[in-house]
């Protein structure tokens, strides 16, 4: 049994940290968005007397990772087999395009799509795996959903899909990865939690942003609501990220944000022409710059990367 899956990356259009739990994890209010850039998974599995899991890494970022049991893809395969009490031989090839330590959720997406692929091949219900996915990583459940946009709460694992009309004209994204890994632990160690009033105001802004996106409003109406609390924990301490932000501001592009805990910075623009022009202005030998679109559906597995050029609830509102 064989299957191929596209594993989309994500950006955060909004990220506020609302508190810290006794176990050390931070409470978030965030808006995830999947994009048409990511990895490709080739998976083959068959029942066997004894479980065996193998992983081969290819692609431009494959050499940066280990192809052993420490890899999230291997861990996800084992979690699936143990959860359903199956023995199987699972052979995987992962074509890696998403850099690590970039705030794009590449490893989490890979893990989720390993479990989704195995669910398809063995006829299992993916909903059963959501708790196990959360234990693998806070972002893993995000990629178990087909939706493009999801509101994240808790540690990012309490998810609410945001419906967007199929006819919605969404902006283009220009992403810049400055070839720098930003360790998440160090970012949160520098975090100063906002006061209650500030946190409440920002959470209100998140709800406004979600309404604009649900209603397919033009970018000009909601770009001022883009926000990432973690920028203040990264930009002053990471020259490469700060330089990207400065270069973007020189182009008079104002819908600019760091994704997650960094190091990728992205800009939203109205047209493909604008995206191409911005890529040409930002590209240099110290960074990877490309443009892409939001990933509208995981049902079309051949959709992944086609627009890329290198160089648990419901929300109701009135539109």
Catalytic residues: 10, 139
Q: Kindly give, in sequence order, each residue whose CB lies less than 8 Å from that of residue 3, ignoring residues fewer than 6 positions away.
A: 42, 43, 44, 117, 120, 121
In the chain, where do the E strands start and end?
A: 2-20, 26-47, 52-58, 88-95, 149-153, 158-162, 172-177, 227-228, 256-258, 265-269, 288-292
Distance CA(94)–CA(96), nearest Å, equals: 6
Q: Which of 179, 239, 197, 255 is nearest to 14 (CA)?
A: 255
Distance CA(20)–CA(161), nearest Å, equals: 24
Distance CA(316)–CA(319), nearest Å, equals: 10
Distance CA(174)–CA(309), nearest Å, equals: 10
Q: Which of 40, 30, 59, 94 is nearest to 261 (CA)?
A: 30
In a 3-state reduction of DSSP, which class is residue 61?
coil
Tokens (6 digits) for 306: 């086609």
Q: If 0-12 CB within 10 Å is exposed, 13-18 middle and 19+ buried, where does residue 114 land?
A: buried
Please check whether residue 60 is in contact with residue 98, taking contact to mean a CB–CB distance below 8 angstroms: no
Rounded to 5 degrees, φ, ψ at 157 are -100, -10
């Amino acid at each position: 049994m064989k299957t191929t899956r596209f594993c989309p990356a994500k950006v955060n259009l909004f990220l506020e940290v609302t508190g810290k739990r006794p176990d050390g994890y931070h409470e978030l209010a965030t808006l995830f968005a999947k994009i048409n850039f990511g990895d490709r998974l080739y998976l083959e599995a068959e029942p066997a007397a004894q479980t065996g899991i193998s992983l081969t890494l290819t692609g431009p970022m494959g050499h940066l990772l280990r192809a052993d049991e420490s890899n999230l893809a291997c861990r996800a395969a084992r979690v699936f087999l143990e959860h359903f009490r199956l023995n199987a031989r699972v052979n995987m090839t992962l074509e890696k395009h998403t850099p690590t330590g970039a705030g794009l959720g590449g490893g989490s997406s890979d893990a989720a799509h390993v479990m989704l692929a195995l669910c398809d091949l063995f006829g299992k219900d993916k909903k059963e795996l959501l708790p196990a996915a959360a234990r693998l990583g806070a972002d893993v459940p995000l990629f178990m959903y087909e939706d493009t946009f999801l509101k994240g709460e808790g540690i990012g694992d309490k998810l609410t899909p945001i419906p967007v009309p199929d006819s919605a004209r969404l902006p283009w994204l220009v992403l810049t990865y400055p070839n720098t890994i930003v360790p998440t632990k160090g970012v949160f160690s520098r975090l100063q939690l906002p006061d209650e009033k500030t946190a409440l105001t920002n959470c209100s802004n998140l709800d406004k942003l979600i309404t604009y996106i649900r209603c397919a409003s033009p970018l000009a109406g909601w770009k001022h609501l883009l926000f990432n609390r973690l920028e203040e924990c990264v930009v002053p301490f990471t020259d490469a990220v700060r330089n990207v932000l400065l270069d973007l501001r020189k182009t008079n592009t104002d819908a600019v944000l760091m994704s997650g805990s960094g190091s990728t910075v992205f800009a939203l623009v109205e047209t493909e022409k604008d995206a191409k022009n911005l890529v040409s202005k930002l590209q240099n030998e110290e960074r990877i710059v490309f443009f892409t679109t939001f990933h509208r559906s995981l049902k079309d597995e051949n959709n992944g990367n086609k627009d890329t050029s290198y160089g648990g609830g419901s929300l109701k509102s009135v539109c």
